[in-house]
Structure 1
Amino acid sequence: MNANTGSSPHDLRNRLVDAILKEDVSGLRDARVETAMRAVPRHAFLPDATVEEAYANKSVTIKENPDEDALPLSCASQPDVVHFMLVQLAVREGDDVFEIGAGTGYNAALLKYLAGPSGQVTTCDIDPDVTAYARRTLDENGYADVRVVTRDGALGAPEFSPYDRMIAAVGMWDLPAAWWDQLTVGGRLVVPLRWRGLTRSVAFRREKDRMRSDSVRMCGFLPVIGQDGERNGYIDDDRLVRLYWDEDQPIAPEPLREAITRPGSVVWTDATVGPVESFDGVWLRLSATERATCRITAKPEAMEAGLQRPASPALSPALVERDSIAYLTLERTAEEPGGGARFRLGAVGYGPAGVDLAERICAQIRAWSPARTVEPVVTAYPADTPDSALADGAVIDRPSVRLVITYDS
């Protein structure tokens, strides 16, 4: 289709990149990635979208899920996320790169542009419809030398390894053992990693016996097929309030049903944010200090019925222990000079231990407030690593990996 109403694809592409560089709050920049995104035509990988849609800063679904209540099966990622993840990956001329999640083929084309004529890119997907789409678009746009394979990305592609760079374009709950064997020591892995209800793009550097992060940024991705370690359930009879947690956490929705029918107890801090300021770091700190950290979502009808509003109703951190729950909340305070609104952060607790849980959330709000841009270090170890060999921090065990989340301050 790709019909447009005025501006050329070249102009729209440059405007998109200009907007990403102006508005992106990740703080990550690389002139080579900028050049690649100005050169590779995204619209050519999205033939069913208009040119304007192709160069809007939003994801585009390429394969719907037949289950109307489920997420799409495949999407073209949002361009600003593509940008900062490529900066995190730091592909060099001549690198051998492996991508999990072929999507439209656009990201593989960018990777090939960055790796250059002497580099090699292999992209894979478990869905043959997706790989067929990517193969076609890559061939049509001059990237026939990109390898496209159909398989479970958790297996990697050992026949083409080792790799200097690996990147996942799907949300991963675990880091498969095969990836350790196929990524060179000194290489880099960028992965949307899911833990304690959140997803962050983590850039790891591969060391001999571990992978250690040097960048952690907020993102959102469709979860990979085949990793089912996340659990969810409603905590109210009307199915308006839902929790998401990991299988290693002793969380059950049923004991919370009575708690949230009673009035909650709110604990406030002095920390405030503006209308566009992120408080994402509070959740990260909770995941590094509180094993009870999970995610809560609440539909508008729940607040209309009296539930205290979560800070972000679609996506807020919570603590759950047995029959008690607390979660992050906020309220508008007096406006700043000049009319800017401010919002005070706090926590609301329900159940016998609700106030204690709310106080524990507030402790992490206070730790975050004076150092809002500080990121945790995420260190990944093979699953058989003994406790004595782990870094200090919160340990999260997965089938193939042991994650340690650490703050230095």
Structure 2
Amino acid sequence: MTDLETADPQVLRTAMTDQLVREGTILSTRVEAAFRTVAREAFAPEADLRRAYAAHDAVSTKVNEHGISISSVSAPDVQARMLEQAGIESGMRVCEVGSGGYNAALMAELVGPDGSVVTIDIDPDVTGRARTLLDAAGYDHVQVVLADAENGLTDAGTVDRTIVTVGAWDIPPAWTDQLAEGGRLVVPLRMRGLTRSVAFDRDGDRLVSRSAEVCGFVTMQGEGKHQERLLLVRGKEIGLRFDDGWPADPDALNGVFDTDRVETWTGVTVAPAEPIKGMQMWLASALDDFCLMSVDPDLDTGLVAPQNKRANITLLDGNSLAYLAIRRTEAGAEFGVHGYGPNAKAVADSLVRELQTWDRDYRQAEPVIYAYPASTPEADLPAGRVITKRHRRIVISWPHEGQANKSTTIEKEK
């Protein structure tokens, strides 16, 4: 019997932690010790032991009327990565937005007896569950608060670290007003439909990223909720998802998939298991009329062959579009582009050029992500893609070599 087949929680906890260390997700001895100490099964009673300790699996704890998860115990690898990003030290005051119990317990281990942890959630079912499980596991000193985190914590004082464990479209002032100068906010921030766990350091009234990791979370509720818009372009089979903006004439895309497909292959290749998060962020920041394509798995006729059928990078041009495709090669895979509509070749060529630019100039690069107050004038922002939200102007700024030194602005959805 292997470690992962046993029903002994201590053995499973050790095996899970060993896996996260091997995979390079856990990097520090402090985070490793916290994972070896906290009993994850105590915070995931909805799952059997093996599922509770699956390194890459979240455990859903509440669903809405449509069966969609609205609260969960995040996957261990995601929690470990965010804790490493946060760099929590002994004696710190830390805050968690989005309560599950397990992550707060890990944070309590990291701050030790001289630190403090407060976890906040808008849902009384979630906070009640977290309070009960934390008490039962011996973490009764963790403060659990029922409130909308959009407005911050009353009389909480300053905190050294805030970790947000729900998907956020914006960064409300309350999250930084209570953050100490030089403090750190780790937040799964949605930018043009792509979510990255961004570790921001506070620098006056702006935030500057230290790292950004691919992640996925249930979305924010309350005042901070932001719903993406969906344009169905072939019955309910194919939809185009817009996080910001909307086509000037959405009806122009009617029948776009009834036209002949144009295929172009880029010569841009990727090795098996090679990370490509930088490519997605480059395309999202370089392309103006950008959206994500989704294909309903229950209605999929095989008409389109996107690289990712859940959320695929797509470029629009009036009555035409092009999307990212992929094909297998002996060395791994090659990226290509499929175009549809009267201007299929032109829009496909535009997407191809940006893919090749990423491959040539930015393949080994990552952007710096800034968050400024929404009132910041364009002239005071660094070069890059500017996304104006309700509270913040997010700037995705790449190294300047090979990049035009100007800002491109996306205004917030009205």
User: What is the TM-score of this pair, normalised by structure 2?
Assistant: 0.90
Alpha-carbon distance in structure 1 between the residues aligned to 2:229 and 2:345: 24
Cα pair distance change 1:398/1:22, threshold 3 Å: same
Partner residue in 2 for 1:407: 398
| 1:292 equivalent among 289, 292, 305 | 289
Partner residue in 2 for 1:85: 82
Check the 8 A contact 2:256/2:319 in 1, yes or no: yes
Secondary structure (helix, strand or coil) at the match of 2:82 reads helix
Check the 8 A contact 1:89/1:190 in 2, yes or no: yes
Q: Which residue identity lines up with residue 387 of structure 1 in the other structure?
A: E
Secondary structure (helix, strand or coil) at the match of 1:297 reads strand
Partner residue in 1 for 2:406: none
Partner residue in 1 for 2:373: 382
Partner residue in 1 for 2:54: 56
Check the 8 A contact 2:6/2:12 in 1, yes or no: no
Equivalent pairs counted in the alignment come to 394
Partner residue in 2 for 1:36: 34
Moved more, 246-255 or 46-55: 246-255
Matches within 5 A, 1:321-336: 321-333=317-329, 335-336=330-331
Alpha-carbon distance in structure 2 between the residues aligned to 1:250 and 1:389: 29
Q: Which residue identity lines up with residue 83 of structure 1 in the other structure?
A: A
Cα pair distance change 1:42/1:374, threshold 3 Å: same
Q: Which segments of structure 1 move beyond 6 Å, counting only runs of 4 or more?
A: none
User: Following TM superposition, by how much is the alpha carbon of 1:270 offset from its aligned partner in structure 2, in angstroms?
Assistant: 0.9
Alpha-carbon distance in structure 2 between the residues aligned to 1:252 and 1:343: 35
Check the 8 A contact 2:219/2:225 in 1, yes or no: no
- Two-structure CA RMSD over aligned residues (Å): 2.0
Check the 8 A contact 2:62/2:70 in 1, yes or no: yes
Partner residue in 2 for 1:311: 307
Alpha-carbon distance in structure 2 between the residues aligned to 1:82 and 1:120: 19
Partner residue in 2 for 1:345: 335
Partner residue in 2 for 1:359: 349
Secondary structure (helix, strand or coil) at the match of 1:32 reads helix
Check the 8 A contact 1:251/1:321 in 2, yes or no: no
Partner residue in 1 for 2:201: 205
Moved more, 154-163 or 234-243: 234-243
Alpha-carbon distance in structure 2 between the residues aligned to 1:181 and 1:31: 31
Secondary structure (helix, strand or coil) at the match of 1:158 reads coil
| 1:268 equivalent among 265, 268, 286 | 265
Secondary structure (helix, strand or coil) at the match of 1:203 reads strand
Secondary structure (helix, strand or coil) at the match of 2:50 reads helix
Report % sequence identity. Answer: 39
User: Following TM superposition, by how much is the alpha carbon of 1:97 offset from its aligned partner in structure 2, in angstroms?
Assistant: 0.7
User: Following TM superposition, by how much is the alpha carbon of 1:251 offset from its aligned partner in structure 2, in angstroms?
Assistant: 6.0
Ranges in structure 1 where 5+ consecutive residues have no aligned partner: 337-341
* Residue deviations 1:224-264 (CA, integer Å, cap 9, x gap): 01345443324334211111112435466432222122112
Partner residue in 1 for 2:107: 111
Check the 8 A contact 1:285/1:368 in 2, yes or no: yes
| 1:280 equivalent among 277, 281, 299 | 277
Q: Which residue identity lines up with residue 51 of structure 1 in the other structure?
A: L
Partner residue in 1 for 2:8: 8
Q: Which residue identity lines up with residue 37 of structure 1 in the other structure?
A: F
Cα pair distance change 1:165/1:306, threshold 3 Å: same
Moved more, 323-332 or 190-199: 323-332
Moved more, 34-43 or 244-253: 244-253
Q: Which residue identity lines up with residue 162 of structure 1 in the other structure?
A: T
Matches within 5 A, 1:165-204: 165-204=161-200
Secondary structure (helix, strand or coil) at the match of 2:181 reads strand
Check the 8 A contact 1:199/1:218 in 2, yes or no: yes
* Residue deviations 1:187-233 (CA, integer Å, cap 9, x gap): 00000011111111011000012100010110011110134544332
* Residue deviations 1:353-391 (CA, integer Å, cap 9, x gap): 433332222223223335534211110001111112111
User: Following TM superposition, by how much is the alpha carbon of 1:5 offset from its aligned partner in structure 2, in angstroms?
Assistant: 7.2
* Residue deviations 1:77-99 (CA, integer Å, cap 9, x gap): 01000000000011111111111
Partner residue in 2 for 1:66: 65
Ranges in structure 2 where 5+ consecutive residues have no aligned partner: 402-414
